[in-house]
Amino acid sequence: MFCLAFGKQEVPDETFGQQYCSQRFSYCLDFPASMFSTTYFSPNEDSLVFTTLDTYGQVSVISTTSDHKLNSHQAFDDRMRALAASGESPLVLSIINGDDYYEVNFLFDGHWYHQKAGFYRTHDVLFSLQVPVNRPNMMMRLNEDVKIVFD
C-alpha cells in the first residue's frame, strides 16, 4: 500500500500500480507510481496532487465537505463560471452529467482538463487530470493509467 506522508515526497520507483483509498471521502484511486515524480497529501487528506515525471501533467483529487446541496448540473455550471471569471471562458469538449456525478473534458488557459466529480450527502469529490494542450498523448496515457472509483 502506498505510504501516506504529509507534504512533498518521492514516489517509489515501481512500475506496478498503487492504490490510495479514502474511506472518509468514499473513493479509491489507482495509479502507476512510476509515472509521477512527486506527490502531495494534505494533512487532513482532503487533497492530493501528483506531478508527472516531466512536470507537465498533474493529477489531483480535491474533497470538500458540503452543507449545501447543489445538483451536479449546478455544481458544474458554478465551476465553469468561476473559471470564466478570470477573463477566459473554458471550451467544453464533452460532458456526461447525472444527478450526482459528472465527467467533462475541456480546454482552458492552454491546458486540457479531464474531470470527474462525485456528489454525496456530506461531501463532494473532484478528480482532475491536467496537461498542456500540446501533449495529447500524455492525456491519453493518464486517462488509461489513472482511475478513480467513487463508492
The pLDDT tens digits along the chain (151 residues) read: 333 333 343 444 444 589 999 988 999 999 999 999 988 988 888 999 999 999 999 999 999 987 666 788 888 999 999 999 988 999 999 999 988 899 999 999 999 999 999 988 888 999 999 999 999 999 999 999 999 999 8
Match 464533452 to its residue by C-alpha cell. 94
CA gap 42, 24 in Å, rounded? 14
For the chain, how many residues are written?
151
pLDDT for the residue numbered 16: 55
CA distance 42 to 4: 10
Backbone angles phi, psi at 108, to 5 degrees: -160, 130
Tabulate helix, strand, coil % of the chain (nearest 5).
Answer: 15, 50, 35
pLDDT score of 65:
87
Q: Between vectors from CA 28 to CA 77 and to CA 121, what angle results, nearest 5°?
A: 50
Task: Give me the residues paired with residue 30 across strands.
Answer: 19, 147
Give the per-residue pLDDT at 45.
Answer: 81
Class of domain 7-150 (CATH, top level): alpha beta
Tell me what pLDDT residue 69 has.
Answer: 66
Domain boundaries, given as residue ranges, for the chain: 7-150
Read off the pTM. Answer: 0.85
pLDDT at residue 7, as a whole number: 39
- CB proximity list for 47: less than 8 A, separation 6 or greater: 40, 41, 60, 61, 62, 63
